[in-house]
Amino acid sequence: MAAVGPLGRIARLGSSICRNQRLICNRSSQRRGIASCVDPAHGLSEEQKEFQEVAFNFAANEMAPHMAEWDQKEIFPIETMRKAAQLGFGGIYVHPDVGGTGLSRLDTSVIFEALSTGCVSTTAYISIHNMCAWMIDTFGNTEQREKFCPDLCSMEKFASYCLTEPGSGSDAASLLTTAQLKGDHYILNGSKAFISGGGDTDVYIVMCRTGAKGAKGISCVVVEKGTPGLNFGKKEKKIGWNSQPTRAVIFEDCAVPVANRLGAEGQGFTMAMKGLNGGRINIASCSLGAAHACVQLARDHLLVRKQFGETLSNNQYLQFKLAEMATKLVASRLLVRGAATALQENRPDAICNQALQMHGGYGYLKDYAVQQFVRDIRVHQILEGTNEVMRMIISRNLLTES
């Protein structure tokens, strides 16, 4: 298939979706019901506004109506994600020559923020899938890129990132999964924990130990579903992120071709960290989408909920709280978008908690979407590096650079 320009697929298919649903992609923030002071389109180019609108429309029409059901029934919405892939969202920052959309990190952040207003959990998985596709695109050779990337970008196949182990989380360099070279195969033994998509996905990007202890002994291999010796644990029961399955990934004398190794032996840890640098921005962008949606939900609730004969929107204390939430949302968005250029990370979770508080007892009911946003983003303080690890990285940078 001939490669398309970075915006070609999104614009063409997005226009079709908007036309079919009688939506106009360049409608104003007022028509979307977004207050101008928190409009996520501020500062974006016209092209960026176009694909942001496509993502918002997809979130509103294909994701939000099903968000609660996916959560309650723990549905992995494969067909919906494949529809997103038709818009170019399966390989957003993968090169076009292997089926990707070829957009920038900032563009990616804008898209993930918009998609998350429809379902944080599903968008977070899409972001992980994108990270995996990018790793193969970036570190793989021509044969590997051509073999894996087209199916990942179309989401005919789905990917999982396998770094965390039962005994190694923040200290990722201490991982114990081994890969012993035997002929033209590596024999993998060990297990990975908390793997998003585990058991339901097709391609596993696995960090494993091919050498001595420490980061320099780690390599990265691609393991395909169906490989003998590849097994999975039970599906975990989680408080959030329920539209994506989470399982342990277990290797028992699992033979993986040497041809599936990305880069050279010993480069795996560097690849893993570079993947996470982008992954952190992606997850932060998902948090932004949740925060944006919660500000909108809180505002709408204050406008209709009455106490003491008047709407809550007339209460000055709540007005000030809403203003604080809006300020933090915009500040966080600016920081995340700046980080997208520099590959750094930020997360605005407190906004969602305040939005739930404004709903009072209603916010604790599952009939109200705000509670799901709160549940789904809680894990964002843990994955892709805990909050404490992020602080450690920042302080290390401050203390080692003169």
> What are the catalytic residues?
384
> Based on the number of CB atoms within 10 Å of its own CB, is 297 exposed (0-12), middle (13-18) or buried (19 or more)?
buried
Rounded Cα distance, 164 and 186, in Å: 20
Rounded Cα distance, 64 and 387, in Å: 28
Contact 226/202 with Cβ under 8 angstroms? no
| Type of residue at 313 | S
Packing angle between helix 316-342 and helix 350-358, nearest 10 degrees?
Answer: 160
Rounded Cα distance, 89 and 258, in Å: 30
Three-state DSSP at 167 gives: coil
In the numeric block, which tokens belong to residue 327? 């300020």
First-last CA distance in the chain: 50
Local structure of residue 235 (DSSP, 8 states): P
In the numeric block, which tokens belong to residue 33? 């019901």
With CA atoms as reference, report the closest residue to 348 among 319, 375, 381, 383. Answer: 381
In the numeric block, which tokens belong to residue 260? 């599936």
